[in-house]
Chain A
Amino acid sequence: MNEDDIYRTSTQFRFWTYTAKALTDLRASSNSLAASRVRDAIKRSREQGSKSETSTNNAVPEVDCLTVEEEQKLVGWYCTKAMEFCDFSEFPKAVKATAVQFLKRFYLSTSPMTYHPKQMMLSAIYLATKVENFYIGIAEFAKMIPKTTADDILAPEFLLTQGLRFTFDVRHPYRSLEGGIMELHEMSRGSYIPPHGSSFTTEDVRVGILKVKSHRGKPATMTPDECAERIKRAHNKAGDILTKGALLTDAYFLYTPSQIWMSALLAADKPLAEFYLHIILSGTPNGSVSEPSSLELRLLSLLEQCAGLMTRSSSRGPDETETMELKRIDKKLYHCRNPEKIDLVGMNKAVKEGSNGDKVDEEKVVKKRKIERDRAAKEEQDLFGAPLKK
């Protein structure tokens, strides 16, 4: 059993990691399912309306549903909104990241046409505060948001947990990044212990890291202090990528946390990341001292892909055309929402009252039994006993 096997046991790997193709397929299928349900629901509501009015207006236009891309844009927009809210309320970054991932995971299997992201967003943030051990009472939490009651936040919560398949553990690459930076510092300070089976010695690594080429490919010889400074710079830059780009892309679905943080390091300081990767893979079967092993090459190309994915999105800012586009999508969504799923608070209440109704019936039965029992007891005390049963 090694580190990889441990990660394989996590719910993030078992339920929330997909190949790129599986991911697009899943989104397409949940979109088409939601679209057909929306059409049915709208048809039903129209039929009800037409019955009361007795007007036979059959020529209703077909509902124009959102496409997968439009859905993605909308969810992405609400993810940024959620991040802004978390930043504004000064929540820890783990809460922010978990909330965003909850939203992204939830909308893998559902569509904004069924449940509007605006409703789910607050619930996701609230759930994330609980999951990440930063609990705020619901009353206090509701007070932070204007025009929102506690019910608005709690009503979609069960739906959300259902959509998350009741798996709340999100493995972020933040602690991983800290771990990697710790190791880099150990390397530069000459106290790094190479992995089991490695042919490098502590001294080899110390000398090696001081000679890592500069960012522009120039050969360099650094003093330990300069090296520490360089690691710190790479740390900050990688941290930035992880808190922005990594969250809004599909990186969490496609890669493992350790790959994500290493890609961020690769984007921040490529020679340093390559050196680090070479050292930590030196304990694996084909990891030799000079030549990169096949595993290392494969991993490098994977990390490049991941880094490309994350940096592309982080450079993208909310520009004019994009906001226009989002407004258009929002308007379109107004017409193609599932009318049966708009009133989440009402739905939640109905579920709860349904259980109450049963309780009332039960109470009645209990009462009836008690009266019968009392009567029987009274008759028993009669001089000649209870009347004979016929």
Chain B
Amino acid sequence: MPSARRPNGIDESVICPVCKSSTYLNPNMIFKVNPECYHKMCDSCVERIFTSGPAPCPVAGCGKTLRKNRFKIPRFEDLAVERECDIRARVAQILNHSEADFDSLRTYNDYEEWKEELIMDLVSGNNVQEWERKLKEHAKENQESIKANARHEEDLREQVKEDERVRIERSELSRAEAQREFQEELAEREAGRKEVINKILNTNSDVLRVAKEAESVLQKRAAARNQPSTANGTMGVTSGSGDANITGKTTGSVGAAKSTGFSISGLKKIQPQTKEVEKVYDAFDGLSLQFKYYSLAEKYFHPRSNAVDKEKGHASGGYLGWDYQRRAQMDAHAGLGIFVEEEKA
């Protein structure tokens, strides 16, 4: 318990400033503070003074009104640190934007720096009233977005948990599957052995031959077991059939978990990408050629290039008269509408 910790070893006792009772006499004494003034007092004092409602701080010269429900056990020995942590938590609750909310890293960093300055001012007591007022206003104005951000953060945390759960489930499943496979194989082996023994007992055929046959049957079965796992294409390993099977089976559940989203910070960016991938791939990236000055005919009257098609020498090289005609059409019209004096001026 942090409250039972003593500053310098066991010998030194801590005294409650209110009732002057000491840890020397009562080692299980718990000290509490209130974030209003951070004056330490023992648990029994808190109970005694504040149970009947809000009361002024009993420490001499303070007199701030404190409520019992705000009292807490300080997490740090140094109360200045405790106070800074509290301020940080409070500010972070209000200014709870994440990096994804910003258009660039630069703006996010600027925001973070500004927030840090604000916190340091609050801690060191600069401009406290103005900052507090502004914070309050901000919280009021941006109630919706703050809530949304908090919800988002909560979701992220949930997803981390979900992710972990899926991972554990997956490993358990794979273990169970491996176990099952192993048991099956054992049973099969046992059955095969029994069969062989029965055969040897019932028939008077050659023992060695029977054993060989049984061996080949076993091998065939093993091969059959391995086949579906390799067909899944998850990995080329055939020795550990159980393993391969699991990966094949569990990809489905992993995919399902993915669709709800993992907890990785780049999540928001990844999701739209997967949507884009679904588009049909266009090798020319939207470029399409539209002839302005001509339409291609299927064949042209051009004795020289048409004669080429009848020559084996040209055809064997993959050359077609049509290729020449198509190119000639393009050359004849390409650049016709370019007025150099205007475009190069």
Chain A positions near chain B (C-beta within 8 angstroms): 1-4, 6-8, 13, 17-20, 22, 171, 173, 175-183, 185-186, 189, 191-196, 254-259, 261-262, 280-281, 283-284, 295, 298-299, 302
Contacts and interface: CB of A to CB of B under 8 A. Distances in A.
Contacts of A258: 331-336
B159 interface: no
A171 B338 CA distance: 15
Q: Tell which of B292, B293, B338 has the most Cβ of chain A within 10 Å.
A: B293
12 contacts: A1-B287, A3-B330, A8-B338, A178-B328, A179-B327, A182-B301, A183-B300, A183-B329, A196-B292, A256-B336, A259-B338, A280-B336
A242 to B, nearest CB: 13
B339 interface: yes
The 10 closest A-B CB pairs, nearest first, are A179-B332, A256-B335, A179-B328, A7-B335, A7-B334, A176-B331, A182-B300, A193-B295, A3-B334, A2-B292
A22 B337 contact: no
Contact of A186 (B290, B297, B335): B297
B325 interface: yes
A330 B289 CA distance: 51
Nearest to A180: B332
A295 B292 CA distance: 13
A194 to B, nearest CB: 7
B302 interface: yes
A164 B334 CA distance: 23
Contacts of A1: 287-290
Contact of B297 (A175, A192, A255, A259): A192
- State the main secondary structure of chain B at its contact with A: loop
A98 B301 CA distance: 28
A281 B293 CA distance: 6
A19 B340 contact: yes
B300 A19 contact: no
A171 B296 CA distance: 21
Contacts of B330: 3, 6, 179
Given A176-B331, A183-B329, A195 B292 contact: yes
Contacts of B292: 2-4, 195-196, 283-284
B51 to A, nearest CB: 84
A2 B290 contact: yes
Contacts of B295: 193-196
Contacts of B344: 17-19, 22
Contacts of A20: 341
B291 interface: yes
B341 A171 contact: no
A298 B339 contact: yes
A7 B293 CA distance: 14
Given A7-B335, A176-B331, 15 more contacts: A1-B287, A1-B290, A3-B334, A4-B336, A17-B340, A19-B345, A171-B331, A178-B332, A179-B327, A195-B291, A195-B292, A258-B336, A262-B336, A280-B293, A302-B339
B281 interface: no
Interface in B53-98: none
Interface of B: 287-297, 300-302, 324-325, 327-341, 344-345
A176 B335 CA distance: 11
A147 B328 CA distance: 41
A186 B327 CA distance: 16
Contacts of A179: 325, 327-333
B335 A254 contact: no
A388 B330 CA distance: 80
B335 A4 contact: yes
Contacts of B293: 3, 195, 280-281, 283-284
B341 to A, nearest CB: 5
B301 A185 contact: yes
B328 A176 contact: yes
A13 B327 CA distance: 18
A1 B286 CA distance: 10
Contact of A176 (B287, B332, B339): B332
A182 B328 contact: yes
B294 A175 contact: no
A13 B337 CA distance: 13
A94 to B, nearest CB: 13
Nearest to B289: A1
A41 B155 CA distance: 80
A177 B332 contact: yes
A196 B338 CA distance: 19
A195 B339 CA distance: 21
Contacts of A6: 289, 330, 334
B79 to A, nearest CB: 64
Given A195-B294, A256-B340, A261 B301 contact: no
A22 B339 CA distance: 15
B318 to A, nearest CB: 16
Contacts of B291: 2-3, 195-196
A2 B74 CA distance: 76
Contacts of A302: 339
Q: Tell which of A182, A195, A283 has the most Cβ of chain B within 10 Å.
A: A182
A20 B337 CA distance: 18
A309 to B, nearest CB: 13
A182 B329 contact: yes
A2 B294 CA distance: 11
Q: Tell which of A4, A255, A299 has the most Cβ of chain B within 10 Å.
A: A4
A319 B136 CA distance: 99
A138 B164 CA distance: 74
Contact of B290 (A7, A185, A196, A261): A196
Nearest to B292: A2
Nearest to A255: B340
B294 to A, nearest CB: 5
A255 B338 CA distance: 8
Nearest to A258: B336
Contacts of A262: 336
Contacts of B340: 17-19, 254-256
